Amino acid sequence: MVCLGNICRSPLAEGILRDKTNKLGIPVFIDSAGTSNYHIGEHPDKRTVANALKNGVDVSKLKARQFKVSDFDQFDTIFVMDSSNYANVIELARNKKDIEKVELILNRIHPRSNMAVPDPYFGGEEGFQTVFDLLDTACDTIVVTLQK
């Protein structure tokens, strides 16, 4: 799961998908990263932590890191939150195989629409619930494909 800062959207996506796969006993390794180095080592944004907890997901212990080229080798799928994350990750791709691993996460619920998970960082509290609902729905769809 990749966003810009790795303190709002992608750690939440990581936490939501981990909860769902744990509950269903699906063995999968999930992690998240930011394309920027702005918040390396920090826990998720306080507003993300609070909103996630309200929705039953604990992301308080996660720590931000920066996306790195070796992530293309570590992961089968790299979900990005918006087209800017997509461009930043694709810039690091070494070949077609790397590029093919990168997907906009909301394309799982709205195929080929290239919709963004809106960045809640500079907005109000309600933005965090919008992000939660979008990622929760997307992760439900991801879980279905993991079960096949």
Task: Work out whether 16 is an interface residue with ligand 4NP (CB under 6 A).
Answer: no
| Residue nearer to ligand 4NP on the CB measure, 24 or 129 | 129
Task: Work out whether 7 is an interface residue with ligand 4NP (CB under 6 A).
Answer: yes
8, 9, 18, 108: the active-site residue: 9
Q: What CA–CA distance (Å, rounded) separates 70 from 64?
A: 17
Q: Which of 14, 19, 71, 119 binds ligand 4NP (CB under 6 A)?
A: 119
Q: Outline where the chain has alpha helix (H).
A: 9-24, 46-54, 71-74, 83-90, 96-100, 126-147
* Residue recorded with tokens 């990749």: 2
19, 45, 71, 119: the active-site residue: 119
Read off φ and ψ for residue 2, nearest 5 degrees. Answer: -130, 135
Q: What CA–CA distance (Å, rounded) separates 135 from 141?
A: 10
Q: Considering the complex, what minimum distance in angstroms separates the CB of residue 64 from ligand 4NP?
A: 8
| Residue nearer to ligand 4NP on the CB measure, 8 or 17 | 8
Q: Considering the complex, what minimum distance in angstroms separates the CB of residue 27 from ligand 4NP?
A: 27
Burial of 126 (0-12, 13-18, 19+ CB in 10 A): exposed
Q: What CA–CA distance (Å, rounded) separates 123 from 136?
A: 20
- Please confirm, yes or no, whether 3 is among the known catalytic residues: yes
- Please confirm, yes or no, whether 108 is among the known catalytic residues: no
3, 18, 45, 82: the active-site residue: 3
Which are the catalytic amino acids?
A: 3, 9, 119
Interacting residue ranges for ligand 4NP, rule: CB under 6 A: 3-9, 34, 38, 119, 121
